[in-house]
Structure 1
Amino acid sequence: MTNAPNTPTTPTKPTTPKTANTPDKSNPSTPTPLDFNQWVIEQFRANEGRVGGPFEGGDLLLLTTTGAKSGEEHTTPLAYFREGDLLLIVGSAGGAPQHPAWYHNLLAHPMVRVEVGTEVFAAIAVPAEGDRRDRLFEQVVRAAPGYADYQRRTTRSLPVVTLRRSEPEEGEGPREVTNLAEKLLEVHSWLRVQLHQVREEADAHFAARAAHQGPGAPPAPGLSMQLRQHCLAFCESLEFHHTGEDAHIFPALERRHPHLRDALRRLRAEHRTVARIKGELHALLSDIATADPARFRAELDRMTEELRAHLDFEEEALIPVLADIPFPPTAPVREAADGATA
């Protein structure tokens, strides 16, 4: 594991790492955690990811999660570490007895936004489990020994969360998108890749369970946290895509191209079918320890079949029309409003 690229080589790590939500309690004038976090966020964004004061030279990122209950966005400054192409964050909360709010948020909504330096990208947040969590935490402690102090202060196991990009890095993505047909194909391609990854993880999980023999702990019952998070992230992205189509793209197309009305009616019905399956998957994933793997696989197979057919039909019906609509839209004011929503 390596620290972030901007880690200084000469200063040593503090024994107890300061985090943005643990201000200096020895100073009575220290602002509240919320005020302090906001100050860190403003400093971070104004200085290309660099923050002064107690965080001078530190490795910080901004994590934006969606509230588990409120549905609102919340941004939290956090220390981070690197493990290959993953970023690691720790739910220490200064050794408090409860997990931090951002951790509960990403369990409910695994799709998060990450800011590192001047980069901003979407990522999938997955808490590490079992031996892997222990190994990663040991590596974090070697880099920042203060996290061991935090662990000693509480009986809970401090979660180590991996952040993996859910989009290509700059220069690795597809060619420039010039019309809505290409944009739709780009989104569909991403959804197909994510669905394939979820299915691969499901197959690997079930294969490991079936192959276990002899001594040693068998795989945990139910489903793995990684499978849960990736499945929820996929469902969340799919819902966002379908909601945008139903609310904006389809009404605009219906006004401009009445001959598509029957096709759009079918696509809306398919959205509802996929949404029902997604709801059943969500219910299964509410408690991975007791989830029925066989039922999960059956529902995942059903969603895969429905979604693949849906994406194929949508492309067949809409690509010829969408190919004539520039992206981003460049139509006159009235048309641009329609195009923007499309």
Structure 2
Amino acid sequence: MPLHFNTRVIDEFRTNAGRLGGPFEGWVLLLLTTTGARSGKEHTTPLGFVEDGDRLLVTGSAGGSDRHPDWYRNLLVNPTVTVELGTETWQATAVAATGTERDELFARVVAAAPGYADYQKATDRIIPVVALYRVPEDTYTPPDRLDALADELVAIHDWLRRELAALSDGLGDPTAPGLTVELRRHCLTFCSAMAVHHGGEDAGLFPYLARTHPEKADAFERLRAEHTTVARVLDELGTALARLDEVPPAVLRAEFDRLRAELETHFAYEEEQVIPLLRGSA
């Protein structure tokens, strides 16, 4: 949609608690605010969506154009977004689906809103599907949300594991033409997602669980220490990627393998210690 048209829709949405008239009368849209990949400025876009359990699905259809929308490229770099729906506003983690999962989610979107199939027919571009996972709003998470939070934690870990696999595939031949940009893009996406995920746990989830389960103090101390280690390894991998022309492939692979080993150990321990507490089975 043209910028001026988007502005009118956004103003109407916020003035009327999400209710729209004109060509969108009767539609239920959300507003998605992303952070510019290059500018760092916030950008808000009205989007249709499909509910899928506790998450929302949005598609980068762009009316069937041959170019991904800006908001999609933004969230690949900065996956923390803001969602406005009706009178509610919350932060979410935006996870772009890939491979067969993307195909399955796109089929769900088309089943709910068949017009998206026409957009896909209009372009050779694979229209992306993005899942929006609501981020807990405060440190004191109400008990009746903890089970859903466990599902969200596993979903985020699974996405991060897939991103690790994508990075690993990219490192198969770090000297391939054009690979530098893709490796850096994947690394930026992954590093940003890890910083948001670990920052949210350190500031909210872990302090809450430490208060309700003081017997697990050692476990949370270890998890926070692992966050520090992972952040350091991510920085070192980022430095190596920034000097890709100078760093031997074997050195880059060693840095990545170290990161993957740290994260696989960390995810396994966190799920072993935290998931039972969230599900109330500890």
1:278 maps to which of 234, 237, 248: 234
2:259 maps to which of 280, 287, 299: 299
2:76 maps to what in 1? Answer: 107
Give runs of aligned pairs for residues 58-73 of structure 1, distance below 5 A.
58-73=27-42
Assess, with a 3 A threshold, how the Cα gap between structure 1 residues 293 and 54 changes in structure 2: closer, same or farther: farther
Q: C-alpha displacement at 1:296, in angstroms?
A: 3.2
Report the structure number with the largest CA radius of gyration: 1
2:89 maps to what in 1? Answer: 120
Structure 2's unaligned 5+ residue stretches are 144-148, 172-184, 203-226, 243-248, 267-282
Number of positions where the alignment pairs a residue of Structure 1 with one of Structure 2: 214
Kept in 1: contact 2:160–2:190 (CA 8 A): no
* Cα distance in structure 2, aligned partners of 1:298 and 1:79: 41
Kept in 2: contact 1:64–1:76 (CA 8 A): yes
Q: C-alpha displacement at 1:305, in angstroms?
A: 10
Q: C-alpha displacement at 1:273, in angstroms?
A: 8.3
* Cα distance in structure 1, aligned partners of 2:255 and 2:18: 45
Paired letter, 2:258: A
Kept in 2: contact 1:109–1:236 (CA 8 A): no
* Cα distance in structure 2, aligned partners of 1:169 and 1:241: 11
Q: C-alpha displacement at 1:299, in angstroms?
A: 2.4
Q: C-alpha displacement at 1:295, in angstroms?
A: 3.9
* Cα distance in structure 1, aligned partners of 2:158 and 2:105: 24
Structure 1's unaligned 5+ residue stretches are 1-20, 22-32, 175-189, 210-219, 243-270, 307-342
Q: C-alpha displacement at 1:166, in angstroms?
A: 2.0
Paired letter, 2:235: G
Q: C-alpha displacement at 1:277, in angstroms?
A: 3.3
1:84 maps to what in 2? Answer: 53
* Cα distance in structure 2, aligned partners of 1:226 and 1:87: 23
Match status 1:233 vs 2:189: no
Identical-pair percentage:
47
Paired letter, 2:169: P
1:162 maps to what in 2? Answer: 131
Report the TM-score, using the length of structure 1 for normalisation.
Answer: 0.51
Kept in 1: contact 2:102–2:129 (CA 8 A): yes
* Cα distance in structure 1, aligned partners of 2:196 and 2:85: 23
Aligned Cα RMSD in Å? 4.5
Paired letter, 1:37: N
1:221 maps to what in 2? Answer: 169
Assess, with a 3 A threshold, how the Cα gap between structure 1 residues 202 and 141 changes in structure 2: closer, same or farther: closer
1:151 maps to what in 2? Answer: 120
Q: Deviations over 1:24-60 (max 9, x none)?
A: xxxxxxxxx1111111111111111111111112120
* Cα distance in structure 1, aligned partners of 2:157 and 2:117: 36
Paired letter, 1:277: V
Kept in 1: contact 2:163–2:190 (CA 8 A): no
* Cα distance in structure 2, aligned partners of 1:284 and 1:154: 37
Match status 1:94 vs 2:63: yes
Kept in 1: contact 2:35–2:43 (CA 8 A): yes
* Cα distance in structure 1, aligned partners of 2:139 and 2:44: 23
Secondary structure of 1:68 counterpart:
coil
1:140 maps to which of 97, 105, 109: 109
- Higher deviation after alignment, 48-57 or 226-235: 226-235
Assess, with a 3 A threshold, how the Cα gap between structure 1 residues 111 and 202 changes in structure 2: closer, same or farther: closer
Report the TM-score, using the length of structure 2 for normalisation.
Answer: 0.60
Paired letter, 1:233: A
* Cα distance in structure 1, aligned partners of 2:240 and 2:51: 32
Assess, with a 3 A threshold, how the Cα gap between structure 1 residues 36 and 138 changes in structure 2: closer, same or farther: same
Give runs of aligned pairs for residues 1-342 of structure 1, distance below 5 A.
21=1, 33-167=2-136, 172-173=141-142, 221=169, 232-236=192-196, 276-282=232-238, 295-299=255-259
2:269 maps to what in 1? Answer: none
